[in-house]
Structure 1
């Protein structure tokens, strides 16, 4: 009787575990198919956002954003909502006082997106190439964090935060060089002024 009961339990366990084993075998790395499909969708989202940014296709970028998206920019500005982000883009790249002539970026992820139900958090780096309206051509290494939410069958970006090293970046180096050049000009000007003033005084003294 005990042996028969043990066989029945083993048989039931084999039936219960079969679907799980089938799911693990169906996806790379042992991940369930729905999780793998989610990561495929998120990789496609990243790639399309990168492509839209590099082509300056703002309308396409906005389709991937949640209506209440929060974007923290590299210049420490915070924009909330799609239209606020469109206005920021127009201000920086299209308006009469624009700063950026062109930007291209290459986004890299540190690891797979961490999934919490219908929320995902990704992090990584970005190599951003900027051409500014004053002719400055620089490449900045950035860090980013992105929060995404699933609504229906789509993943949308709910928050994106950009940052760079404030102690070591091309813009800081440019400002340091500018400051050193300005100090040199001021020093030369002071020397010339001192020479002229001294010469004038000597002429007055001998007159």
Structure 2
């Protein structure tokens, strides 16, 4: 009887602590958010806007002061960069082929979770608008996740990650269309070369008839 009573109390105690632990974990982001005032939110938004402007104008000197010392960015093609010059070189290389310009804008609401009053995890959606050198345009839907940390009274981007649907990628579609055009052109060119070659061979092999 005593063993059953102690076992029942032990189970109740375990259940109580489990419930308390879940409640504490569940309320951590909310309590952290409660400690963040609107001025901090506005400062985070300013950092975000500066980052967008740097991407759209390719002026990365603007965002340099707002990057965390251990900054990391992961691009949609799974490239990872830790230094601004390396990412700037990568970004500028995107315009050396068929792409003329890229403009990015946010879409919808930003989901924001404060792990602490000084650490913000934000995520949302964006649209990247591509302008190609042949005059065509296309949009690509993106998802992004950013971690910002407040250091020295300034909100800095610690990490930034982009992802996209690889099956709906305007750059790949443009490359595929270009490949198809080149394949057709190569086929037509090969046919013409073959036809001309056959005509020349026929003329060369045609027996000559002397006039009487």
Q: How big is the shift at 1:98?
A: 6.2
Deviations 1:137-179 (A, max 9, x none): 5543322111112225332111111232222222112112111
How many pairs align? 172
- 1:19 matched to which residue of 2? none
Change (3 A) 1:201 1:66: same
Match of 1:89 in 2: 88
Unaligned runs of 5+ in 1: 1-30
Alpha-carbon distance between aligned partners in 1 of 2:47 and 2:153, rounded to the nearest angstrom = 13
State whether residues 123 and 145 of structure 1, in contact with CA within 8 Å, keep that contact through their aligned partners in structure 2: yes
The alpha carbon displacement at 1:67 in A equals: 0.9
Q: Is the 8 A contact 1:125 1:141 kept in 2?
A: yes
* Equivalent residues of 2:147, 2:160 under 8 A apart: yes
Q: Are residues 182 and 101 of structure 1, via their aligned partners in 2, closer, same or farther at CA, if it must alter by over 3 Å?
A: closer
TM-score of the two chains, using structure 2 as the length reference: 0.65
Correspondence list, 1:53-132, <5 A:
53-80=55-82, 84-90=83-89, 92-93=91-92, 99=96, 102-108=101-107, 110-117=109-116, 118-131=118-131
Cα deviation, residue 134, structure 1: 8.3
How many angstroms does 1:70 deviate by?
0.5
Q: Is the 8 A contact 2:140 2:168 kept in 1?
A: no
Q: Equivalents in 2 of 1:112, 1:45: separation in Å?
A: 16
Q: Which residue of 1 is the match for residue 183 of structure 2?
A: 183
SS at match of 2:123: strand
Instruction: Assess if the C-alpha contact under 8 Å between 1:109 and 1:123 holds in 2.
Output: no
Offset, 1:127? 2.0
The residue number in structure 2 matching 1:168 is 168
Specify every segment of 5 or more residues in structure 2 that has no aligned partner in the other structure, as ranges.
1-32, 208-212
Return the structure number with greater relative CO, CA threshold 8 A, min gap 6: 2
Check 1:61–1:136 CA distance in 2 against 1; reply closer, same or farther (3 A cut). Answer: farther
The change in CA–CA distance for 1:54 and 1:195 in structure 2 (over 3 A counts) is closer
Q: For the residues of structure 1 that align with 2:183 and 2:134, how far apart are their CA atoms? A: 21
Query: Root-mean-square deviation (CA), in Å?
Result: 3.2
Mark the CA change 1:167 to 1:153 in structure 2 (over 3 Å): closer, same or farther: same
Alignment partner, residue 14 of structure 1: none
Equivalent residues of 1:39, 1:112 under 8 A apart: no
